[in-house]
Structure 1
Amino acid sequence: MFKRSLSLVAGLALCASAVTSFAADVLRVSAIPDEAPTELLRKFKPLGAYLEQQTGMKVEFVPVADYPAVVEALATDRLDMAWLGGFTFVQVNQKTGNAIPLVQREQDAQFTSKFITSDPNVKSLADLKGKSFAFGSISSTSGSLMPRYFMLQDNIKPETYFSRVAYSGAHDATAAWVQAGKVDAGVLNASVWQKLVDSGKVDTNKVKVFATTPTYFDYNWTVRGTLDPALAEKLKQAFLALDPAKPEDKAILDLQAASRFIATKPENYKGIEDAARAADLLK
């Protein structure tokens, strides 16, 4: 029931935003739903206020039900900007050919995923053969695509290696599943894992990290290719201007789990595209 209600709310939000899709004074922003909707809104609120101040526009956060909804909305100009994973950026760019990644967090140039378990006997992926395993969303770069890619490099095909493969839909949900024993192990992005640990939302006496992936490029703020170039540049400079030495800016950066934002470019995500093709997730 909750999922159906959330989908309805998200759908209504997107429909409502479509009505004002050409309102020049409204910037419609969204994010891949890799965490709970309430957490996404909490993280975005101060950033939205900052962007309003920097652009002189009203900034509207548009919640969506799932990853494909963000891709479709940005590709069809129903969104102006979105927080994407590397894979969702590749998907948008494949649809449009002109999506523009503006900035990424400094750590997104060397991002990792964490493999976790509540089974004390699990020390490596070799110990999980025949056990159950959870990814996040199938469209998640750090919760599905890249961990899968690296497993395939080690000749581990999840669907035949594990007894059951499940998709939790979000990184925090994966951690909750593992802690509750719903699955024997799972994988989530390193940033969310650390946040859950720091906030006490995961019990490290019950759940442990037993492996970490190699590094890869991941998250970025992307604008639709048809956005006014002057506005795109203004948004980019607003992100780059956030200074951790200023308390008000640091509060925004902390919510984004960022030390600072740096410029990025489409070429950074070629490795993600290659990985998606290798995993048969992109045609």
Structure 2
Amino acid sequence: MAWTGHDECRYPHVRPHQPGPPPGGISTFSRWSKRQMRDLRLIRPRLQFGIISSTYHLPGREARRRASDQKRCRHRTKFTMRHLTKNTVARLLLVVLLISAANGVADDNHDHDAMPRLLVMAAISDNPMGIHEVMQPMADYMGRKLAPIGIESVKIIVVDNHEQMVLLLHEKKVDWITETAYSAALLQSRGGAETLVRRWKQGVPDYRSVVFTRKSRDIQSLDDLVNRRIAFQHRGSTTGYFVVASALKSAGYRLQQLGSVYDQPAAGELGYVFSGAEYNSAIWVHKGIVDAGVVSTIDWQQESILPEKIREDMRIIYTSPPIPRALELVRGDLNPVVKAAMKQALLTAHLDPEASTALAAYQGTSKFDALDGDAVAALQLIDAAIVAETSEPVSAP
């Protein structure tokens, strides 16, 4: 019975003429003779060249031979590493230089004066697969429209949050972004993005925020919400949080984020929680879990969010000014020729029969148009609110 190992310089082994572990493994040691068990003693595993292996101690002459083999292997390994270091350092430096040069070419592709060959379209979403399917037809359409100026393809990337998008803008790794008004204002102030056109998402150019409560409650205005609880959607929502929260703070109300819907705000403050979805806000108000909720005018009319039976029991106590429904932004230092070509293609897309499929897939977009005075004013107010929110954060529980 013999056990043969692998290459001696990588895996220490017992020589073929010496007894080794039986085919059945350690459990069959009891079948061996006392002499075999004495000559073969398993010692604790040790690390050999990055691999943990169990070694077998053999007495006498064989142990000395194995020690010599291991010493020779260590010497050979050191020699090989020293040899490689001396002969490959120049090649490694050359590879580093080539990689740096390639990165320089990639960066040059996004310089202000250079004509890019690749256009990167981006969005912020926690559902990358879904938003990719929405954006791909529009990316393909714009790729065809921009081909005459040298754009070879349009790539799509999706990030999780605003911080990642701002970083990509500063690194010049995104060119075209589609976002809501709040996100657009944030990316303009922190990332240097520019608004190109307004998008009529779901066929609507703008929308508003509404604050609603049950008719049975003694709440007639925002003043009556002091010492009560309101449900926002989530912190990144334009109409479901930011617009109303900014209006409340601008009017002098003190907001307090609550740890749960069962907590009560401090005296003189307006407590708020995040429901996570418009439907949740509606249900929480209907069941009396919170005193008021916030949705957009579009969601207010959605039967799936506010069924008619529930909506009939509600009262709107506040409606915000109009806000652009969606916006298309570009990196601020994008080549002016590309900006102009993109704007022209988007503004005329609704007149192009080839764009019908792309527009329909692009969240039911009916057209793109230039920002009017109301839209510009709304973005300026949102931008000012972002600055105020950064300097004076809302109190947390």
2:61 is matched with which residue?
Answer: none
SS in 1 for 2:321: coil
| Residues 162 and 187, structure 2, Cα contact 8 Å, conserved in 1 | no
Corresponding position: 1:281 with 2:386: no
Alpha-carbon distance in 2 for matches of 1:219, 1:60: 21
Q: How does 1:205-224 map to 2 (within 5 A)?
A: 205-206=309-310, 210=316, 211-217=318-324, 219-224=326-331
Per-residue deviation, 1:273: 2.0
Alpha-carbon distance in 1 for matches of 2:162, 2:213: 25
Per-residue deviation, 1:26: 3.0
Corresponding position: 1:76 with 2:167: no
Corresponding position: 1:30 with 2:30: no
Alpha-carbon distance in 1 for matches of 2:391, 2:363: 29
Q: Which runs of 4+ in 1 moved over 6 A?
A: none
1:44 is matched with which residue?
Answer: 135
| Residues 159 and 165, structure 2, Cα contact 8 Å, conserved in 1 | yes
Corresponding position: 1:134 with 2:231: yes
- Which consecutive unaligned segments of at least 5 residues does structure 1 have? 1-19
Identify if the C-alpha distance between structure 1 residues 251 and 92 changes in structure 2 by more than 3 Å, giving closer, same or farther: closer
Q: How does 1:110-189 map to 2 (within 5 A)?
A: 110-116=206-212, 121=217, 124-126=221-223, 128-159=225-256, 161-163=269-271, 165-167=272-274, 173-181=276-284, 183-189=290-296
Which residue of the other structure, out of 302, 307, 312, is the alignment partner of 1:197?
Answer: 302
| Residues 142 and 218, structure 1, Cα contact 8 Å, conserved in 2 | no
Identify if the C-alpha distance between structure 1 residues 206 and 240 changes in structure 2 by more than 3 Å, giving closer, same or farther: same
Q: Which of the two has higher C-alpha Rg? A: 2
| Residues 108 and 219, structure 1, Cα contact 8 Å, conserved in 2 | no
* Bigger relative contact order (CA 8 A; separation at least 6): 1
TM-score by length of structure 1 reads 0.70
1:101 is matched with which residue?
Answer: 195
| Residues 213 and 291, structure 2, Cα contact 8 Å, conserved in 1 | yes
SS in 2 for 1:226: coil
Alpha-carbon distance in 2 for matches of 1:38, 1:188: 26
TM-score by length of structure 2 reads 0.52
Per-residue deviation, 1:50: 1.8
CA-atom RMSD in angstroms? 3.8
Alpha-carbon distance in 2 for matches of 1:32, 1:189: 20
Per-residue deviation, 1:180: 4.3
1:54 is matched with which residue?
Answer: 145
One-letter amino acid of the counterpart of residue 175, structure 1 = E
Alpha-carbon distance in 2 for matches of 1:61, 1:183: 40
Identify if the C-alpha distance between structure 1 residues 178 and 92 changes in structure 2 by more than 3 Å, giving closer, same or farther: closer
Q: Render the CA deviation track for 1:214-254: whole Å, top value 9, x for unaligned.
A: 22456321111232221121111111012268595376158
User: Does 227-236 or 206-215 show the bigger shift?
Assistant: 206-215
